[in-house]
Amino acid sequence: MKRILGIDPGLLHTGWAIIDVIGNGRKYIASGVILPPTKMALAERLAFIFNGVSELCENFQPNECGIEVIFVNKNGKTTLLLGHARAAAITAVAVKNIPVFEYEPNKVKKALTSIGHADKEQIYKMLSILLPDAHPKTSDESDAIAIALTHANTSRF
């Protein structure tokens, strides 16, 4: 059995998901969103994300982690801030000696739907087919589940 932590990083919402891989089977374990208070300073938010991901690693003991690669926004500052949130999450996993694997958004979409530019609704429909026990409440949570599934499916090769 392999336990995978999927992370969709964000400064305001960091989605996370835990799935187990047993042979060719996939089992949904848990998912949610780390929500740093919006009034926190940047450094405090990063610490909040780091601590939240660290706690997930302690509680669920994943063997591997899949995380989304950030894309370059039109606004460079936004991209840089998102990179900070991603770095906080990666560091929290890395200090636990858990291998981290990175996936571009289009590869995640293609891995689940066979369409590299699938929309959120298509992703959600595929998740409900592949992991019927998963009922994500937000797109961040849904994306984290999709990232975990992508890693489960591509790490075999």
141 catalytic residue (yes or no): no
Q: What is the pLDDT of residue 65?
A: 98
55 catalytic residue (yes or no): no
Q: What is the pLDDT of residue 124?
A: 83
Q: What is the pLDDT of residue 73?
A: 67
The answer to whether 108 touches 147, Cβ cutoff 8 Å, is yes
Q: What is the pLDDT of residue 133?
A: 96
Nearest Cα neighbor of 34 from 16, 17, 61 is 16
Structural domain total, the chain:
1
Query: How many whole angstroms separate alpha carbon 76 and alpha carbon 3?
Result: 35
104 catalytic residue (yes or no): no
Domain range for residue 111?
Answer: 2-154
In the set 8, 64, 141, 143, the catalytic residue is 8
Half-sphere exposure of 95 (CA within 13 A, CB side): 12
In the set 44, 58, 64, 68, the catalytic residue is 68
- Quick: pLDDT tens for 21-48: 999 899 999 999 999 999 999 999 999 9
Write b or e for each residue in 9-43: b if 16 or more Cβ atoms lie within 10 A of its Cβ, otherwise e: bbbebbbbbbbbbeeeebebbebbbbebeeeeeee
Q: What is the pLDDT of residue 112?
A: 85
**The CATH number of the domain where 90 resides is what?**
3.30.420.10
Residues in the chain, pLDDT under 70: 72-73, 116, 156-157
CA angle 53, 55, 58 (to 5 degrees): 115
